[in-house]
């Protein structure tokens, strides 16, 4: 279970850093990190099939990844892209909602949810 949590975290970091590098014009690094993400997803499939995780565990893994993505993707992306850490653009609906309604507290709630899901999975 710990390996899957680590791999999901690495997938998120690879995705955010890759997107940040794409924004900066570093396509080679971006494409490399996309390949890393695909390899990591395949590693999860192998681990899940080998360990035959229960539906309960799979649901908590999904909660972990989605809440970690909400909590951390923008921060990692912004730092990699050279933006201010709390920057939100104007192009996506998500960015406009976050900017307009100051949903930063949702990011904190998502981080707490991610931590709680790890505790639930390893206990």
Q: How do residues 19-74 score in pLDDT, each as one tens digit? A: 999 999 999 999 999 999 989 988 888 888 777 878 888 889 899 999 999 999 99
Token duo for residue 83: 């933006």
Of all residues in the chain, the percent with pLDDT exceeding 70 is: 100
Structure confidence at residue 104 (pLDDT): 78
Q: Which residue has the higher pLDDT, 12 or 56?
A: 12
Q: What is the pLDDT of residue 56?
A: 85
Long-range contacts of 99-108 (CB under 8 A, 24+ apart): 106/70, 107/70, 107/71, 107/74, 108/71
Residues contacting residue 93 through CB under 8 Å, at least 6 positions apart: none
- pTM score, whole prediction: 0.78
Which residues does 104 contact at the CB level (< 8 Å), separation at least 6?
86, 98
Contact indicator for 74, 17 with CB cutoff of 8 Å: no
| Token digits of residue 105 | 């507290």
- How far apart CA 106 and CA 113 sit, in angstroms, is 10
Mean pLDDT of the chain: 89
Q: Residue 105: what pLDDT?
A: 85
For a pLDDT cut of 90, what percent of the chain falls above it?
56
């Amino acid at each position: 279970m710990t390996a899957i949590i680590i791999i999901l975290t690495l997938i998120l970091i690879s995705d955010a850093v890759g997107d940040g590098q794409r924004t900066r014009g570093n396509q080679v690094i971006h494409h490399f990190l996309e390949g890393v993400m695909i390899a990591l997803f395949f590693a999860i499939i192998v681990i899940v099939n080998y360990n035959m995780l229960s539906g309960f565990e799979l649901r908590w893994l999904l909660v972990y990844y989605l809440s970690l993505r909400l909590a951390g993707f923008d921060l990692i992306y912004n730092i990699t892209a050279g933006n201010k850490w709390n920057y939100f653009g104007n192009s996506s609906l998500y960015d406009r909602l976050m900017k307009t309604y100051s949903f930063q507290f949702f990011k904190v709630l998502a981080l707490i949810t991610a931590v709680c899901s790890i505790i639930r999975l390893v206990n």
